[in-house]
């Protein structure tokens, strides 16, 4: 567990007790802080260990685990022993004045949540677990941090950097928006590298994270319900570089206008700024999990990071060749009679789906869900590769109309099982059946992972 001496004797309120929130409670209590915590989900509240009866001078001497609750998020071991207080309290009933910070999960909308308004009015800092990690860094063995952000591709790039470091025998961990919560893992030994995938939400909750290497892959319209327009969303991404010390490395993809603008603003860094240009020709034939133009950019970014960290070329090459990829991101789930079935459920907007279409010569494209926009313009240059499209979910009728206007043959399948069955029947050897929805999953599924799992199961059930 990672903790900071600076937390001792301070007071924190924690909103949200899923994986990262529960880990933050444990770390803060272990660091000697007084904590009150709350989650609207009863199962999460019950799963968090609570104080034993008060002893001594009104401070809990120990914490006892609450009974397990079906469906509750698993927590990494019991809360540590020692003198501190922790209680579960509805934060709407608490006067936040005098607290050192309100710690919230990235899912809490900072632009609309009433508790955020309350904290700001009380002059209380609003932070997340990544900022707590930043505060703990002086107490950790000497190390470096890589932060990876961008609208699309950040999970693959984060995992690839982590894999290359492991290949080079560099102590490393992978956290943030991927892997285990950063505060729940053990501190790395001297020379270790923490690799963090960072969403804009996480960056918004961070003030002092000074990454030795910061990466921005791209910025395209997404999550605009949380921001006052696209420029504000792009500015959130750019804050990752504003937190860096002089001399630290920046790696920026310049394939879109917003990212290129951020790169220009940092042009004075000279050799400490690496620009990743789009359309770079690369031989990806030896990287089975890194096919397609989007993965060329991901690979170039990871290579730049590895070089900045001093990793040798041989280890970089081996890492690229042995990287297995991530589930739901251009994941080849089966080959049947010469037809590839590919799960790209993580492609939740058109900008993410476009390079997936470009990875194949002939595609049976399954798309649709809860749309994040009204068009598929980012995919239009690849429409000539679509043998047939199969639309599902809320956006199915709208997407079908757009595709028909562009001359694409469309079946309005409605559901994912229907789409898989129809696409499998129509596909011919050498073609691909691609789930790359260009939309969120929440109309028919809990999340993109469940959508991808259903796709995989449907492919497995084909006769």
Decide if 162 contacts 322 (C-beta within 8 A): no
Catalytic annotation, pick one of 143, 144, 152, 154:
154
3-class SS of residue 86: strand
Catalytic annotation, pick one of 144, 152, 177, 328:
177
C-alpha distances in angstroms, 312 versus 175, 263, 325?
24, 26, 21
Give the Cα separation of 360 and 433 in Å (integer). Answer: 10
Q: What is the strand order of the sheet 86-88 is part of?
A: 86-88, 34-38, 11-15, 101-104, 125-127
The HSE-up count of residue 44 (CA atoms within 13 Å, CB side) is 18
Catalytic annotation, pick one of 223, 261, 275, 418:
223
Decide if 174 contacts 159 (C-beta within 8 A): yes
177 in active site: yes
Give the Cα separation of 226 and 203 in Å (integer). Answer: 13
Antiparallel, parallel or unpaired: β 213-216 and 143-149: parallel
275 in active site: no
343 in active site: no
Decide if 327 contacts 343 (C-beta within 8 A): yes
Give the Cα separation of 183 and 171 in Å (integer). Answer: 17
Mind telling me the catalytic residues? Answer: 154, 177, 223
């Amino acid at each position: 567990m990672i903790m900071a001496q600076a937390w001792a004797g301070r007071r924190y309120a924690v909103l949200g007790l899923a994986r990262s929130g529960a880990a933050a409670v444990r770390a803060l209590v272990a660091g000697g802080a007084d904590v009150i915590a709350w989650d609207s989900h009863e199962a999460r509240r019950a799963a968090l260990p609570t104080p034993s009866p008060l002893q001594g001078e009104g401070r809990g001497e120990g914490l006892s685990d609450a009974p397990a609750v079906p469906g509750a998020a698993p927590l990494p071991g019991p809360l540590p022993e020692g003198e501190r207080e922790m209680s579960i309290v509805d934060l709407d009933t608490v006067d936040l004045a005098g607290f050192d910070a309100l710690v919230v999960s990235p899912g809490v909308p900072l632009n609309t949540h009433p508790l955020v308004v309350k904290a700001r009015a009380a002059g209380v800092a609003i932070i997340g677990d990544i900022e707590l990690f930043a505060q703990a860094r002086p107490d950790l063995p000497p190390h470096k941090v890589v932060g990876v952000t961008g609208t699309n591709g950040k999970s693959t790039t984060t995992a690839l950097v982590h894999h290359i470091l492991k290949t080079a025998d560099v102590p490393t961990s992978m956290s943030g928006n991927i892997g285990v919560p950063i505060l729940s893992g053990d501190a790395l030994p001297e020379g270790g590298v923490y690799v963090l995938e960072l969403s804009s939400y996480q960056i918004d909750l961070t003030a002092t994270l000074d990454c030795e290497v910061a990466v921005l892959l791209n910025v395209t319209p997404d999550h605009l319900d949380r921001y006052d327009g696209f420029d504000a969303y792009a500015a959130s991404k750019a804050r990752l570089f504003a937190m860096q010390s002089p001399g630290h490395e920046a790696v920026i993809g310049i394939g879109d206008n917003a990212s290129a603008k951020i790169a220009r603003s940092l042009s004075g860094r000279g050799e400490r700024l690496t620009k990743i240009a789009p359309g770079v020709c690369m031989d990806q034939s030896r990287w089975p999990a890194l096919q397609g133009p989007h993965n060329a950019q991901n690979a170039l970014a990871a290579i730049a990071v590895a070089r900045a960290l001093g990793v040798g070329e041989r280890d970089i090459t081996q890492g690229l060749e042995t990287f297995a990829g991530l589930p739901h991101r251009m994941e080849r789930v089966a080959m049947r009679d010469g037809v590839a079935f590919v799960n790209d459920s993580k492609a939740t907007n058109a900008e993410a789906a476009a390079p997936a279409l470009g990875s194949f010569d002939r595609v049976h494209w399954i798309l649709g869900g809860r749309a994040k926009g009204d068009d598929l313009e980012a995919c239009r240059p690849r429409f000539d590769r679509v043998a047939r499209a199969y639309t599902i979910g809320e956006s199915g009728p709208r997407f079908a109309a757009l595709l028909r206007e562009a001359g694409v043959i469309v079946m309005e399948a409605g559901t994912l099982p229907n789409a898989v069955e129809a696409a499998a029947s129509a596909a011919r050897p050498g073609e691909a059946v691609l789930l790359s929805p260009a939309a969120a999953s929440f109309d028919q599924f809990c999340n993109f992972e469940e959508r991808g799992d259903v796709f995989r199961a449907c492919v497995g059930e084909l006769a």
